[in-house]
Chains A and B, each alone.
Chain A
Amino acid sequence: MPDINIQALMGQLMLGLVNGSFYAMLSLGLAVIFGLLGVVNFAHGALYMLGAYAAWYVNDRWNVSYWWALLIGPLVVGTVGVVIERLFLKRLYKLDPLYGLLLTFGIALVLQGVFLQYYGSSGQSYSAPDQLSGATDLGFMVLPNYRAWVVVISLAVCLGTWFLIERTQLGALLRAGTENPALVQAFGVNVPLMVTLTYAAGCALAGFAGVLAAAVTQVNPLMGSNLIIVVFAVVVIGGMGSIMGSIVTGLALGLVEKLTIFVMPEASNIVVFVIMAIVLMIRPAGLFGKEK
């Protein structure tokens, strides 16, 4: 390959993997929520932002470390998820799924607006913990430790979620609930509770991604607003039917996006949408989706 600096290429690939990890975690959460609730959670981007702010806030206020933030962020966001589900979403299950999308859109506007009001659009900086700062020289590239950590921990969380849903008793209940909630209820499972906790778990995944992202980018009220649309495109490309599908598609598109920088820099933020259009032409149900 002429003219392409291998260091730069590796650097971009690494960034692509980091972004791809966020796409994977967010589209995974969307898929889990959609599977059981039939709701496309537009608030997902705002909840991701909320996770990042939770991490920044507890650190700024009480000097709470990053490691605790990794736990606190998802908890805070999950709790907000419980409130959203119990207060609002619960009332919409009998209606057209479009109302769920519209409701969560409104919630996203409120969350984003409140944070813009308090923190402005300039953003706060949040730094990675000492153990993860610095970089490792691998010979062919210098690998920033924090980015490597983000990719590894995200993959672990994604695979853990996959395992939980596809290979455990709890996951079996969840999948059964997706297929036929009335029957599962008849077996004595508390389905409404399961629905609430599933929504909360999906939101918590977004919160976790937010905490990880806090130290990669700036913590900014608008950090989730454009991201969520890319994640929607990822979900359309992958098809929401498959957990593994969301993970693989997320990572792959993160990589493609950054590789585009070498070919056509101005197209890097639209390449995902172009791929979506092409996939819709060839396989309308998405790469891993099933045709209904």
Chain B
Amino acid sequence: MNWLGQGTERAGKITWIVALAFLLVAPFVGVYPIFVAQALCFAIFAMAFNLLLGYTGLLSFGHAAFFGGAAYITAWLLQEKHLTPELALLGGVAAAAAAGTVVGAIAIRRQGIYFAMVTLALAQMLFFFFLQASFTGGENGINGIERGKLFGLLSLENDLALYFFVLAIFVGVFLLVLRIVHSPYGQVLKAIRENEPRAISLGYNVDRYKLLAFVLSASLAGLGGALKVIVMHLATLQDVRWEQSGEVILMTLLGGLGTFAGPAVGAFVVVGLQNYLSDRAGSWTNVIIGAIFVLCVVAFRKGFVGELLAWQKRGEKAKKA
């Protein structure tokens, strides 16, 4: 096992160090920090999602409920309860964990395609809840949220301070997911993905493993959404819609399903693409995203990182021969 999933360990480590170094200097070389911070939030979301789909083999079509749901809770805690950002984030994550426990417990009763439909339906239920609840502002969402002071001391209204706060959380999530995937627990998850009946016959309580994976994934997805509120000053219905659940699937698929780095790469590609297209293509953006989705499923199922790893593997084989 190594950093990128497969391939050579050293090359993987070097890639990560270069990527981190780039993220550290990005705001000083003219990259707009808010854009990168926003992409990092989605990268957290996609990594959380990949924990479930890539490593446990469960396709949730309702992850937007956790992402957007936590966003609403955090927005409300910041604006109405005047909590400090770190507490508001914790509140959002706790809400996502609670919702994840309930949705997960119901959804793991079915497998495969039904699991996807059940999560989609339950997420839609949460969508209607957020649409009708009074604290979310319905169609308008919650706007003009102040970022507040971290621990009551450091103001996050400074974009640079915010950027490094987000980056620190991203690195934390990255290391946490890495730890989970490579722990004995993570190995059991992969065993379930590969052959569930066998994992059961080996005596693992598969349902408990799946539920924990679901809750972990929902909580981290919630962290991504909650963080995005602080970055963007707002929480909207957009983040709880089913289209958003589809988008995180696209990020994961485009980057490389089941590869460690893929989802984060995919998140940057999709967010970058959306930002690029929104000025130039306007409302065609969704059509283009949908078309990429179709192409990806038909012809590019390994994703960027997956293709890269396959290419690297072929190179190694050629060298040996």
Q: Flag if A112 contacts B286 (CB, 8 Å).
A: yes
Bound CA–CA A106/B301 (angstroms): 14
Q: B287: nearest residue on chain A (CB-CB)?
A: A113
Binds B, one of A15-23, A177-185, A276-284: A276-284
The B-contacting residues of A in range 92-127, CB under 8 angstroms, are: 92, 95, 97-99, 101-103, 105-110, 112-114, 116-117
Q: A96: nearest residue on chain B (CB-CB)?
A: B112
Q: Flag if A98 contacts B113 (CB, 8 Å).
A: yes
Bound CA–CA A269/B121 (angstroms): 11
**Cβ-defined partner of A236 (8 Å) among B117, B290, B301:** B117
Interface size on A, residues (CB 8 A): 42
Q: Flag if A229 contacts B294 (CB, 8 Å).
A: no
Determine how close the nearest CB of chain A comes to the CB of B295; give it in whole angstroms.
8
Q: Flag if B297 contacts A92 (CB, 8 Å).
A: yes
Q: Flag if B283 contacts A117 (CB, 8 Å).
A: yes
Q: Flag if A281 contacts B117 (CB, 8 Å).
A: no
Q: B118: nearest residue on chain A (CB-CB)?
A: A236
Q: B301: nearest residue on chain A (CB-CB)?
A: A99
Q: Flag if B124 contacts A266 (CB, 8 Å).
A: no
Bound CA–CA A107/B289 (angstroms): 10
**For A219, what are the chain B residues with a Cβ–Cβ distance below 8 Å?**
none
**Cβ-defined partner of A277 (8 Å) among B122, B129, B283, B298:** B122
Bound CA–CA A98/B253 (angstroms): 12
Contact indicator per residue, chain A 4-26, by CB within 8 Å of chain B (1) or not (0): 00000000000000000000000
Known A107-B294, A270-B128; contact A102-B253, beta-carbon cutoff 8 A: yes
Q: Flag if B294 contacts A40 (CB, 8 Å).
A: no
Contact indicator per residue, chain B 237-264, by CB within 8 Å of chain A (1) or not (0): 0000011001001000100000000000
Q: Flag if B120 contacts A106 (CB, 8 Å).
A: no
Bound CA–CA A60/B237 (angstroms): 34
A163 contacts the other chain (CB 8 A): no
Known A270-B128, A277-B106; contact A40-B116, beta-carbon cutoff 8 A: yes
Q: A91: nearest residue on chain B (CB-CB)?
A: B298
Bound CA–CA A281/B294 (angstroms): 34
**For B253, what are the chain A residues with a Cβ–Cβ distance below 8 Å?**
102
Q: Taking chain A's interface residues, is the majority helix, strand, or loop, or is none over half, making it mixed?
A: helix
A232 contacts the other chain (CB 8 A): yes
Q: Flag if A106 contacts B287 (CB, 8 Å).
A: no
Q: Flag if A101 contacts B293 (CB, 8 Å).
A: no
Bound CA–CA A148/B284 (angstroms): 39
The B-contacting residues of A in range 254-292, CB under 8 angstroms, are: 266, 269-270, 272-274, 276-277, 280-281, 284
The B-contacting residues of A in range 62-97, CB under 8 angstroms, are: 88, 91-92, 95, 97
Contact indicator per residue, chain B 90-128, by CB within 8 Å of chain A (1) or not (0): 000000000000000010011011101110111011001
A131 contacts the other chain (CB 8 A): no
B132 contacts the other chain (CB 8 A): yes
A47 contacts the other chain (CB 8 A): no
**For A108, what are the chain B residues with a Cβ–Cβ distance below 8 Å?**
290
Q: Flag if A236 contacts B121 (CB, 8 Å).
A: yes
B112, B297, B301: most-surrounded residue (chain A CB, <10 A): B297
Determine how close the nearest CB of chain B comes to the CB of A156; give it in whole angstroms.
28
Q: A266: nearest residue on chain B (CB-CB)?
A: B132
Bound CA–CA A28/B58 (angstroms): 26
**Cβ-defined partner of A109 (8 Å) among B106, B129, B246:** B246
Contact indicator per residue, chain B 265-308, by CB within 8 Å of chain A (1) or not (0): 00000000000000000011111011111101110010000000
Pairs A–B under 8 Å by Cβ, sample size 16: A34-B113, A95-B301, A98-B113, A99-B297, A112-B286, A225-B242, A226-B124, A232-B117, A233-B124, A236-B118, A270-B128, A273-B121, A276-B121, A277-B106, A280-B109, A280-B110
Q: Which 4 A-B pairs have the closest CB atoms?
A: A109-B290, A106-B293, A113-B287, A273-B125
19 further contact pairs, Cβ within 8 A, besides A230-B124, A270-B128, A280-B118:
A88-B297, A88-B298, A92-B298, A99-B297, A102-B249, A102-B297, A106-B293, A106-B296, A108-B290, A117-B284, A117-B287, A229-B120, A230-B121, A235-B117, A236-B114, A266-B132, A272-B121, A273-B124, A281-B106
